[in-house]
Amino acid sequence: MLRGVLRLTGMGFRAAAFSLVMLMCAFQAKAGVKPDAPASASAVALNAGVLADVDPGNDYVVAPPELIVDCEAKLRALGVVFKPAELPVKAGNAKRPTCGAPQAVVFQRGPTKIRYNSAPIVSCGMALGLARFEQVLNEEATRYLGQPVARVEQGGTYNCRKMARFDLVSEHAYANAIDIRSVTLKNGRKLSVLQSFGKLDGEPKRPEARFWRSVANRLYDEGTFSVVITPFFDALHKDHIHLDQARYRVDGSRR
């Protein structure tokens, strides 16, 4: 049921649904309620060609991501160049939340050889998502703009903190998220989310806006990431697109 609610269109409905899930997560955590033991969602999703967590039984679990069997081998098979990273999981206390990732990598280069302003330090599951993200990015850039993407500006991955709007740990605390601020095309043209996502109250006319929206829609609809949040979701995301592999799903890619 909650999965269906989170796919509602309309920013008000979507934000309200997300708030409901967050409140229920927080309530269960404080009350000591244990959710049903989840199936191996990561393994099931990867085998089905979907990287997002599609198991509805663990929507209330907010914790470091599970280990993915043979994840580094999967990255190599996709043509990803990376190196292992150490982000040991540390239990939270009154001053900070539980943070870290049991399986982290530095994403040095993906299959399309897109450059990043800073090599992302992410969970291995996020690295798998980034490999597919690059392919979607180039397909849509070529389709709408006639040029592939040469560079991505990311605004951060690992950050031990809670969410800005909710009293819940951010997926950034597990290196399980990334914020995308802009892309630079092969011809040198830079497109930022802030300047080129377009107005939110109508269908976009400019190809730059259609590019961003198509990328975001595909990343959610094709299950590349569990959560895709754009300027449609709230003003906090007016200048970036947030992508993560949470156990719950949120479609913030459309009105």
d(CA 94, CA 99): 13
d(CA 20, CA 6): 10
- Could you give the 3-state DSSP secondary structure of residue 199? coil
Q: What is the pLDDT of residue 32?
A: 38
**64 and 89 Cβ atoms separated by less than 8 Å:** yes
**Residue 79 DSSP symbol:** T
Backbone region of residue 74 per phi and psi (left: phi > 0; alpha: psi in -120 to 50; beta: other values): alpha
Displacement of CA 162 from its chain's centroid (Å) = 16
Q: What is the pLDDT of residue 96?
A: 87
pLDDT along the chain (255 residues), means of 10: 40 46 45 37 50 95 96 98 97 91 98 98 98 98 98 97 85 98 98 97 94 98 98 96 97 95
**CA distance readout (Å), 151 to 112, 147, 185:** 11, 12, 7
Q: Return the domain boundaries, the chain.
A: 2-252
Tokens representing 222?
Answer: 């094709």
d(CA 24, CA 14): 15
Tokens representing 147?
Answer: 């040029």
Residues 6+ positions from 31 with CB-CB distance below 8 Å: none
d(CA 135, CA 79): 12
